């Protein structure tokens, strides 16, 4: 197990290339199950979750290869079981459920694992698939689904769910007849999945809105498709510029998809502008406190909550963070307090009072975005910070220490 050792206090300056989006790549890779021809993906990030997905696809009957962020998948004779040993490490594994039912009418998928940030039930996935004709049983920790042929249905989600929207969208493209998905998630990663499916011959309308209309087709062909850039990685590097008082140019940064984050960072005193070469972020003035409430897209993303909280720790005045998506996503708070932050948590709300400096300390990462928050705090802190359990970080950031060292950070990876 590795840890990151960070010597803080250095303003970051230079350019960073934003990687492909993990949260877009995962459902798009699982959509390979739907295809009757080989498919090629580019701009696929080199991450643990990606390689776990490729292993799972191979076990399901879709042999894969990965080289230089390029993935080739050849759908073959499909097998219905997604075993616990793989699924337990990654919640997105449940996204093979809809495609398997659509292609072969059966699936045996272990209940998913992932980060410990609260309950993320799959009931919306199952409820929608049942409306399309599937039947489910829970047996020894596995979801067992069967159907003769999925039928189009009019489905209204109880609340916007990214994974649920993606699973049902993939199922609907091969279902008989028309499907309407209302109160659907609007996240850019859902739009990217829809765009990929369209490139393969699907018939979808309404992507980017809360109502998706899908006309089922008999088969999907192959394509070559480039995965969108990672808006959460980009947002993390924007915060890195602000928290260190530096200046970073982010190439391939999805500016429009980060509007809620950029507006909030600008309100805190950062200067962020889109240029022909990328997005330029700098902070030459004292930071100001701000209030945020996490919301489904286009609101402030829950996946950026921990990172902006690290920035708030060094901003003048008080900031309030309300977490409305997950009930257990303040696990980074105690670790930030070990570094000198002043934070009080009450239920789903955290009050952050800015301090003049943070001090390096040994800290423990609890989940993916908490890991990023602690790395950001370490970059700004006086002294040395050790971030342990960074296997969480490696699930969502492509060797983040290399990118940060290239712009002036002092980070090294060591065996714990």
Question: Binding site for phosphoenolpyruvate: residue ranges?
Answer: 22-23
Cβ atoms of 157 and 128 within 8 Å: the answer is: yes
Q: Point out the annotated binding site.
A: 22-23, 91, 120-124, 303, 325
Between CA 121 and CA 119 the distance in angstroms is 6
Among residues 64, 115, 147, 283, the one annotated as catalytic is: 115
Residue 363 CB partners (closer than 8 Å, separation 6+): 335, 336, 338, 339, 374, 377, 378, 385, 386, 387, 388
Q: Point out the annotated binding site for UDP-N-acetyl-alpha-D-glucosamine.
A: 91, 120-124, 303, 325
Between CA 152 and CA 243 the distance in angstroms is 49
Between CA 143 and CA 148 the distance in angstroms is 17
Q: What is the DSSP letter of 78?
A: -
200 catalytic? Reply is: no
Q: Which of 72, 80, 78, 79 is nearest to 38 (CA)?
A: 72
Residues recognised as catalytic: 115
């Amino acid at each position: 197990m590795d840890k990151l050792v960070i010597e803080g206090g250095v303003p970051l300056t230079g350019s960073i290339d934003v990687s492909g989006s993990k949260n877009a790549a995962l459902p798009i890779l699982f959509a390979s199950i739907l295809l009757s021809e080989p498919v090629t993906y580019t701009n696929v990030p080199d991450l643990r979750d990606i390689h776990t997905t490729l292993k799972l696809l191979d076990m399901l009957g879709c042999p894969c290869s990965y080289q230089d962020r390029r993935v080739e998948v050849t759908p073959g004779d499909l097998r219905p079981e997604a075993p616990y040993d793989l699924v337990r490490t990654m919640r997105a594994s449940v996204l093979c459920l809809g495609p398997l039912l659509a292609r072969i009418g059966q699936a045996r998928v272990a209940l998913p694992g992932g980060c410990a940030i609260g309950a993320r039930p799959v009931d919306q996935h199952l409820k929608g698939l049942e409306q399309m004709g599937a039947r489910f049983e829970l047996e020894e920790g596995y979801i067992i689904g069967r159907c003769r042929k999925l039928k189009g249905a009019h489905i209204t989600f109880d609340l916007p769910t990214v994974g649920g929207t993606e699973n049902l969208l993939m199922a609907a493209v091969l279902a008989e007849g028309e499907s309407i998905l209302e109160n659907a998630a609007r996240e850019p990663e859902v739009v990217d999945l829809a765009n990929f499916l369209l490139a393969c011959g699907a018939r979808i309308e309404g992507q980017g809105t809360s109502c998706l209309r899908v006309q089922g087709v008999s088969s999907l062909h192959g394509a070559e498709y480039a995965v969108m850039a990672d808006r959460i990685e980009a947002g993390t590097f924007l915060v890195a510029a602000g928290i260190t008082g530096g200046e970073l140019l982010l190439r391939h940064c999805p500016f429009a998809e980060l509007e809620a984050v950029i507006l909030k960072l600008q309100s805190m005193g950062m200067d962020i502008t889109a240029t022909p070469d990328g997005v330029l972020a700098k902070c030459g003035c004292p930071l100001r406190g701000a209030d945020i409430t996490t919301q489904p897209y286009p609101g402030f993303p829950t996946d950026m909550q921990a990172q902006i909280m690290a920035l708030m720790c060094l901003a003048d005045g008080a900031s309030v963070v309300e977490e409305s998506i997950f009930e257990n996503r303040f696990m980074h708070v105690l670790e930030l307090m070990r570094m000198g932050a002043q934070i009080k948590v009450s239920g789903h709300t955290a009050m952050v009072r800015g301090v003049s400096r943070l001090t390096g300390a040994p800290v423990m990462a609890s989940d993916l975005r908490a890991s990023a928050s602690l790395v950001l705090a370490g970059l700004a802190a006086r002294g040395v910070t050790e971030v342990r359990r960074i296997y969480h970080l490696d699930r969502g950031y492509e060797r983040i220490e290399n990118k940060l060292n290239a712009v002036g950070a002092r980070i090294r990876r060591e065996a714990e």
